[in-house]
Chain A
């Protein structure tokens, strides 16, 4: 049974570019949440998707957007990248937010 998978594992971009990160939830899970983890910090909640809709959102600018597909997989898009967007981006999934979530290994995004 595959757990939460994320791609790519590493990514290097330059300021001003756009990036798309991908997440496949654990089998049987329908809720996907995204977190940003800066070096030496705890993860920060970006947003949560359920039934292809953004259900909750943290304190992140509109440059951060997402999407959930009918198969429950999800994408995180970041536009106009800033140096401060360099971080580990974690995806987590659960079943309708009624059980503890499972995290993926993350995508390490570096902005030059």
Chain B
């Protein structure tokens, strides 16, 4: 089955810096790649997603890039703010939007 590796496990940045989280996947049939943000004790929330027919997608300070050949995708957050502090999960799906394989998560800490 699909396997998703996520790095780093923790990331500390200063407010205003950029943050990059990287994921690799194993199954070349995967075609949907969402990113979720989970604050402590709260539900995972979708922040951005990309399908395999697109190489890059942006939404304000957040962007995701996908390299199908290398089977990796990355989350880029610019101008980080303390409220960006949370655990971020990448995921991949071979079929549909719901049968997701998640990475182990990255704890992002943004210091004022």
Question: Residue on A with the closest CB to B100?
Answer: A45
Interface band, chain A: 20 to 34
Q: Enumerate chain B residues within 8 angstroms of A48, measured Cβ to Cβ.
A: 98-99
> What 4 A-B pairs come out closest when comparing CB atoms?
A42-B102, A97-B96, A103-B43, A33-B98
Q: Enumerate chain B residues within 8 angstroms of A102, measured Cβ to Cβ.
A: 46
Contact (A42, B103) CB under 8 Å given A59-B1, A98-B97, A99-B97: yes
Q: Enumerate chain A residues within 8 angstroms of B102, measured Cβ to Cβ.
A: 42-44
Q: Which residues of B contact A (CB under 8 A)?
A: 1, 4, 6, 34, 36, 42-46, 49, 89, 91, 95-105
A90 to B42, CA, bound (A): 11
A104 to B81, CA, bound (A): 26
A-B contacts at CB below 8 angstroms, number: 60
* A101 located at the interface, meaning its Cβ lies under 8 Å from any Cβ of chain B in the complex: yes
Q: Are A45 and B99 in contact (CB under 8 A)?
A: yes
Contact (A92, B98) CB under 8 Å given A41-B104, A41-B105, A103-B43: yes
Q: Are A106 and B98 in contact (CB under 8 A)?
A: no
User: What is the 8 Å Cβ interface bit string for chain A, positions 53-85, against chain B (1 contact, 0 not)?
Assistant: 000101100000000000000000000000000
Question: Residue on B with the closest CB to A6?
Answer: B43
